[in-house]
């Protein structure tokens, strides 16, 4: 439980979950360990900024925080540069298209175009998944600074589905293959029934600044057929970002 007001404010905001519609001040207090009167006071102060909205049913994250979040130049610029390429990919395949960046040992999805006949995927704009078992994550890790990869390996490769790769040797061999081919494939490693093919968007320093992917039903999509399209989009985005992009 943080001692500073800043820490408490963001502890409260971080206590909201994607599935919450509204939650009570008492529940916020419980989740954070902040005393109820303090939580009450901070919530009402935040409500003055529309950061949260206090409704009859409870508190929800407010439109003001949505607006502030969209001032984040890194994801916003990336979305803008990637937008036409993602739209092309979406139109060409009809599958779900993702754009993600690396954050710590996770990926954060910054854009998602929902396919019309795809499966429901666990991903969500602004949401996180572990990097090691997702297509975009592996594409990002293949071109990540060594400390990020080290952090992932130190955290461990934990089985999420029967198909998750948890053997370190296999995992590193796969990253090598991704570096050679420019494409990462995910076969039901994070979610059963879901496959995807991803490609890294390489920045100036040769590291991945983002990854783009197509996701679909494991028993329907042909990842090898989709790979060149995804790779092409990634290269286009890289060029659009004004970087030299991947040389190979």
Partner DNA sequence: GCAATGCGGTCCATTCAGCGAGACGGTGTG
Partner DNA sequence: CACACCGTCTCGCTGAATGGACCGCATTGC
Determine if 60 is a binding residue for a copy of itself (CB under 8 A).
yes
DSSP at 241: T
Determine if 243 is a binding residue for a copy of itself (CB under 8 A).
no
Determine if 122 is a binding residue for a copy of itself (CB under 8 A).
no
Determine if 71 is a binding residue for a copy of itself (CB under 8 A).
yes
Residue with tokens 């979305």: 79
Determine if 120 is a binding residue for a copy of itself (CB under 8 A).
no
**Secondary structure of residue 188 in the 3-state scheme:** coil
Select the binding partner of residue 10 from a copy of itself, DNA, none (C-beta < 5 to 8 A, by kind).
a copy of itself
Select the binding partner of residue 37 from a copy of itself, DNA, none (C-beta < 5 to 8 A, by kind).
DNA
Q: How far is the CB of 204 from DNA (least distance, A)?
A: 20
For residues 32 and 15, what is the distance between their CA atoms, to the nearest angstrom?
A: 7
C-beta neighbour count of 147 within 10 angstroms: 8
Residue with tokens 């920045």: 203
Q: At what angle do helices 223-240 and 73-93 cross, to 10 degrees?
A: 140
Among 27, 31, 92, 114, binds a copy of itself (CB under 8 A): 114
Determine if 40 is a binding residue for DNA (CB under 7 A).
yes
Determine if 141 is a binding residue for a copy of itself (CB under 8 A).
no
For residues 99 and 166, what is the distance between their CA atoms, to the nearest angstrom?
A: 25
Among 16, 20, 54, 127, binds DNA (CB under 7 A): 54
DSSP at 144: S
For residues 118 and 128, what is the distance between their CA atoms, to the nearest angstrom?
A: 20
Q: How far is the CB of 58 from DNA (least distance, A)?
A: 6
Among 38, 54, 127, 166, binds a copy of itself (CB under 8 A): 127
Q: Which helix (H) or strand (E) holds 201?
A: strand 194-202
163 exposed, middle or buried (CB, 10 Å; 0-12, 13-18, 19+)? middle
Select the binding partner of residue 94 from DNA, a copy of itself, none (C-beta < 5 to 8 A, by kind).
none
Among 10, 14, 35, 244, binds DNA (CB under 7 A): 35
For residues 226 and 135, what is the distance between their CA atoms, to the nearest angstrom?
A: 13
For residues 74 and 108, what is the distance between their CA atoms, to the nearest angstrom?
A: 12
Among 54, 62, 179, 240, binds a copy of itself (CB under 8 A): 62
C-beta neighbour count of 230 within 10 angstroms: 28
Q: How far is the CB of 114 from a copy of itself (least distance, A)?
A: 5
Q: How far is the CB of 169 from a copy of itself (least distance, A)?
A: 32
List residues binding DNA (CB under 7 A): 3-6, 8, 24-27, 34-38, 40-42, 44, 54, 58-59
């Amino acid at each position: 439980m943080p001692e500073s007001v800043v820490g408490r404010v963001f502890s409260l905001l971080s206590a909201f979950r994607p599935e919450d519609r509204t939650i009570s001040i008492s529940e916020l207090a419980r989740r954070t360990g902040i005393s109820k009167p303090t939580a009450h006071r901070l919530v009402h102060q935040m409500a003055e900024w529309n950061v949260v909205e206090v409704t009859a049913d409870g508190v929800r994250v407010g439109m003001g925080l949505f607006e502030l979040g969209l001032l984040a130049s890194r994801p916003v610029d990336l979305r803008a540069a990637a937008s036409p390429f993602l739209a092309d990919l979406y139109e060409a395949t009809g599958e779900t298209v993702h754009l993600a960046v690396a954050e710590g040992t996770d990926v954060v999805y910054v854009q998602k175009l929902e396919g019309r006949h795809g499966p429901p995927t666990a991903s969500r704009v602004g949401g996180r998944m572990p990097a090691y078992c997702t297509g975009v994550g592996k594409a990002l890790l293949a071109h990540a600074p060594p400390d990020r990869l080290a952090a992932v390996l130190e955290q461990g490769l934990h089985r999420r589905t029967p198909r998750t790769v948890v053997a370190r040797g296999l995992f590193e061999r796969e990253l090598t293959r991704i570096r050679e081919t420019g494409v990462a494939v995910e076969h039901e490693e994070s979610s059963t029934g879901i496959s995807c093919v991803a490609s890294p968007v390489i920045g100036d320093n040769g590291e991945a600044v983002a990854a783009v992917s197509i996701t679909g039903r494991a028993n329907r999509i042909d990842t090898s057929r989709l790979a060149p399209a995804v790779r092409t989009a990634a290269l286009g985005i890289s060029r659009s970002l004004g970087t030299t992009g991947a040389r190979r």
